[in-house]
Structure 1
Amino acid sequence: MSPRRPIKTGAPTNTPETPSSLPDVGPPAIHRLPLNIAPHGEDRVSIDPLGTSVQSPSSRPVPLEIADLPVETHVTPVVVHAPIEHFFLPPNQLSRLPAPNALSGIRELGTQRHFVDLQEGGTVLLGIDAENHYRARLNSDFRPSGPRVERVEGTLTWRVKPAVEGASGNESRLSLKRLRNPDDDSAETAVAPKRASTSTGEEWSDPWKKWDASLQQPSAGGIEVDGIRFLVVPRGTDPHHPIVYIRNPEHWMYDFDYLERILGTDLMQQPRGAIRVPPANQWEVDPNLPFQHPLKQYIGVFFPQLSEISVNKVARHQFSLANNGDMATGVGLTRLRQTFNDWKRGNSTPHPALADPLLMLPALTNSGTGPGFSRTLELPALTAEGPLQRLDFDLTRQEWDSFKTTQSGVDLKRLMAGILIRQGYDVFTPTPSTTFPALVFRRENHPFVFFISLHRVRGRKIHQLLNSGPESDARLNAQVGYPALQEILQAHAENRLVWLKGGSQTHVSQPDSIFIVRDNESRLDSLANQ
């Protein structure tokens, strides 16, 4: 037996009654929070490496007493993990995954990265925990931190594994009871059993209950819910809007980047909607999350072939339009929620400019005017910086190689029609005409009709002849067909016709691209007299 080390004279000895010199730090955060906020609304803990700070009575550890429970009492362990939505892969990564295994449904990308499609939608990265159970995981996880998942029998899809009711095998007969500190008058004498069994889960379901701002900012305005004072996001252009949004008091103003970071790291920390409920007309917090994903992910889902640059610019522009500025407002958040819901359900929208990226595009200016002359349109550069001026769409290398072999007018129409259909538009059947290729399309429950002339651009300039005169209608009929002609004539008369240019662009300083821009200048002046 090794000799016992002697205790140095004056060395402190730790006993249950001796306050610890280390802060009372809870379990590690599951997700990284680069927002300088405490996980799940907990108070920040500062660590004094020199041990010079004086501990307040409230920060001392609370004595614990172990007590017996009746034999028939079941104690079920509670595992803290983020909702499954936190682990969904971005839509732009799904096309790169291999097909599911015919037996397991697992998409194997090499030997270390396995993915599964969930029955309720979404695809997650798969991991195995210490007990050999499958769990959803993040790329940054050392150990999988998501809920357990299992394959749905008879299918290639998976699902979140239901929680096991009750306990099996040996039953625990221990509980923890918190006692009062002698110098802490505010401590509870005991923890109620219901509270003890559900408080861990409430950190995920109701973290906003810890957003009480009355202690930190007693004079601040806001609303009161169940005796808790909450700060609210500025209401915006309509101060009497019925929905307000409470916010974490440690958050300040939400610009696009700040809100996007919150939605990408911890959905539960986003502002929550609240509304007055009759007959007492008291405020109640909506139990549903305003947003289930980062804002860019909504764009990527409903417009799946938009390039990453275009997705980012559309999301930022949409945020600014909804909020009438760079900072989030209650009215703006409601507009975004309504738009995303309209997309999901296929409803008509009261704000078309928020719902369609084509309507977000600014009208570019053509140079050169007058009958018999050509117009020139210079395409904006394809860069990640700057405002939204063009939309670009991703093609696979196989699609590009196939298109480059001919680049005929018919192939260009077929290529663009396929892209538009995959974005949810209804495209009038392209005609076999090979000259002046063009398409007419619209969206269900959408008031606008789009006319797009197609071009193969080398460099940055589009040159287009003006075609006015009595024969222009006949040419238009050959370009788009009679049904499409009637549609655009009616839309033009009702000021619902949107003029676009698009096609392929090759340029030495940027990748090859399929693009769409807006010019709002009809090259068929005779339509104005219809």
Structure 2
Amino acid sequence: MAPPKKPRLNAGTSSEAGPTAPDTVPERPSRPTRPWNPDATQDSATGQASGPDAAPPPTVVIASLSASTPTAGPSASASLTRYYLRHAFADRLPAPDTTTGIRTFGTRSYVNLESGETVQVARDSEQHFRAKLDSELLPSGPRLERMTGSLLWRQQGAMTRDQAPREPSVIDSWRISSAFAASDHITIDGHHYQTVENDKARQRSVIYIKDPRHPPYDFDTFEDLLFFHTGEQPRAAIQVPPDSHWTIDPRLPFEKPLVGYAIEFFPELRADTQSKFSRRQFELANDSNFADARGLTTLRQVFNNWKDKTASLHPVLTDPLLMLPTLPISAELAGSNRSLQLPLPSPTGPLARLDFDPSLFLPPSRTFPVIADDIEFMKFMTERLERNGYMVFPARSLPSFPNVVFKRAEHDFIFFMTLHRTETQDIIIPRINPRDFGLVLRNQLGHETMNAMESAHNDNKLISLRGGIQTLPSNNTPTATVFIVRDNT
């Protein structure tokens, strides 16, 4: 029987305060206990400590990393993670002061860390600089200091990797006794390791070993592991020719939490949309709520496709638009327009729509809710798509109605999206004669774009979308969001 599923953690919600409000990496509610049962007892034959007071495994040291790579230990890294700014915001901050390294924007101060991340800082009651969240009056983060002879900052007392004490690899503590080795284990250099669930029906050249005390990894458990105990994630084991012996890959399979990849490659999506997307991506990759070897490898391949902008063997996993449910359009009635009802925007629940965070738009935009001109509307939505990795086909002439045609490098689907403005939960779709619609569209888009759409349609790879601006009342103040949904036309 599968272990009881952990309660889902609340996804972060984005700020609507405007372009000066930075959006940090989505927070976990608090630093959780490790994802194994601390009361579990191991038999002495395993050679591992047991009981609730057993010491946790030591931090892994990856020998292939440069000696100058910074480290502050697992607790320090975890405590700073929640203060990291999104790169989309950090990239538009002023340059660092040539003396202090501080980047000043209005009344706020920011510094670049030696890790490559950026955080907001402020002085505490003792006039020490600390990392700060934008929502805080006083800074709550670790104390920071500028590195000697550099404009970069680091956590006070942090050590570089050549200064850090050498500890035994965490992987050594994962060894299990042959007497307790179940069928889901592998032997490497005479030592036995438990493996992440594998597809028994297929022989795989890459599997993953894990700490035997870890439970099966559902999305929340795996994200907590990557957020707070990155070095304790499963490791890949690879078969090496010519004798196909197994060896452990010392590299970490994942450099950041899964939602961190969504933040990097879809930077303008709202935080709750990114979280829902990452959860759905995890479930689809593993074809389950729990991780297996095939799913972990698939996720790594997808993230490499994003990085390299290469075609993917798993197109649905590369694009949140391909994950959206298909929404029905009302039946056509004589004398009336059709309509499509939008799902309610919500910080929780399944991925039903894509929402964009206006505070992250480049350039910052406070006027987008009142865009009235169709050309400007199309230009505005084109900017949103291009900023998030899509390629938009050029329009040849002025539009009879606003729309965009676009695609991604990672797959060969083509998206056709009509643009709408609405102040309700419904999109009104005017009645158009199909023959007139085709002629108007061909004149507007041109033969090249229309031929690409027709070819995609014949291959069942033309996706119909509706997107635009939805303005709804919120605490007596209208709140606008930029959305995309998928329909059944």
The TM-score by the shorter chain falls in which range? 0.7 to 0.9
Aligned residue among 401, 412, 415 for 1:447: 412
Counterpart Cα distance in 2 of 1:286 and 1:135: 37
Corresponding position: 1:456 with 2:418: no
Alpha-carbon separation, structure 2, partners of 1:493 and 1:292:
40
**In 1, Cα distance between the equivalents of 2:116 and 2:320?**
25
Aligned equivalents of 2:162, 2:473: Cα separation in 1: 63
Q: What runs of 5+ residues in structure 1 fail to find an aligned partner?
A: 1-30, 48-57, 60-77, 167-197, 522-530
Secondary structure, in 3 states, of the residue corresponding to 1:245?
A: strand
Instruction: Give the match for residue 34 of structure 1.
Output: 33
Cα distance, 1:91–1:159 mapped onto 2, change above 3 Å:
closer
Residue 485 of structure 2 corresponds to residue 517 of structure 1 = yes
Q: Which moved more, 1:434-443 or 1:233-242?
A: 233-242
2:382 to 411, 414, 417: 417
**1:101 pairs with 77, 96, 108, which one?**
96
Say if 2:73 is the partner of 1:81. Answer: yes
d(CA) in 1 for partners of 2:391 and 2:148?
A: 37
What displacement does 1:95 show?
A: 1.5
Q: Judging changes above 3 Å, is the alpha-carbon distance between structure 1 residues 117 and 507 closer, same or farther for their aligned structure 2 residues? A: same
3-state SS of 2:432 partner: coil
* AA at the equivalent of 1:255: D
Aligned residue for 1:501, secondary structure, equals strand
Displacement of 1:469: 4.0
The alpha-carbon deviation at position 273 of structure 1 amounts to: 0.7
- For 1:165 and 1:512, the matched residues in 2 are separated by 50
- Relative contact order (alpha carbons < 8 A, sep ≥ 6): 1 or 2 greater? 2
One-letter identity of the residue aligned with 2:298: R
Note the 1:189-268 alignment, pairs <5 A: 200-203=165-168, 206-214=169-177, 217-219=180-182, 221-236=184-199, 239-268=202-231
Is the Cα contact below 8 Å between 2:31 and 2:228 reproduced in 1? yes
> CA shift at 1:315, angstroms?
0.4
- Cα RMSD (Å) of the superposition? 4.0
Partners in 1 of 2:71 and 2:326 — Cα distance?
54
Of residues 325-334 and 215-224 in structure 1, the stretch that sits farther from structure 2 once superposed is 215-224
Asked if the contact 1:134–1:149 (Cα under 8 Å) also holds between the matched residues in 2, the reply is: no
- Residue 473 of structure 1: how far off its partner (Å): 2.4
Structure label with greater radius of gyration: 1
* Equivalent residues of 1:377, 1:462 under 8 A apart: yes
Whether the aligned pair in 1 keeps the contact of 2:196 and 2:208 (CA below 8 Å) is: yes
CA distance in 2, matches of 1:264, 1:493: 44
**CA 1:456 to 1:328, structure 2 compared with 1: closer, same or farther past 3 Å?**
same
Shift of 1:442: 1.3
Please, which of 394, 401, 408 is the counterpart of residue 366 of structure 2? 401
Aligned residues: 418
User: Residue 473 of structure 1 corresponds to which residue in structure 2?
Assistant: 438
Task: Report the alpha carbon displacement of residue 125 of structure 1 after superposing the two structures with TM.
Answer: 6.9
Q: Percent identity?
A: 34
Paired position in structure 2 for 1:488? 453
Contact 1:438/1:453, CA 8 A, preserved across alignment:
yes
2:326 to 337, 356, 363: 363
Structure 1 CA distance for aligned equivalents of residues 435 and 110 of structure 2:
63
- CA contact 1:458–1:506 (8 Å) conserved in 2: yes
CA distance in 1, matches of 2:394, 2:182: 64
SS of residue in 2 equivalent to 1:401? coil
* Further displaced range: 79-88 or 284-293: 79-88
Partner deviation per Cα, 1:28-47 (whole Å, 9 max, x = no partner): xxx95522658xx9846656
C-alpha displacement of 1:277: 1.9
Instruction: Quickly say closer, same or farther: Cα 1:335–1:110, change in 2 above 3 A.
Output: same
1:219-239 Cα deviation digits (max 9, x unpaired): 564012223211111113753
Residue type at the aligned position of 1:35: R
TM-score, normalised via structure 2 length: 0.73
Report which stretch shifted further, 385-394 or 329-338: 385-394
Q: Could you tell me whether the CA contact under 8 Å between 1:100 and 1:116 is conserved in 2?
A: no
Report what 2:112 is aligned to. 116
2:176 and 2:193 in contact (8 A); partners too? yes
Q: Deviations over 1:346-366 (max 9, x none)?
A: 111001000111111111111
Alpha-carbon displacement from aligned partner over 1:125-184 (angstroms, at most 9, x marks no partner): 7899xxxx999999876566xxx984886xx66799996989xxxxxxxxxxxxxxxxxx
**1:389 correspondence with 2:383:** no
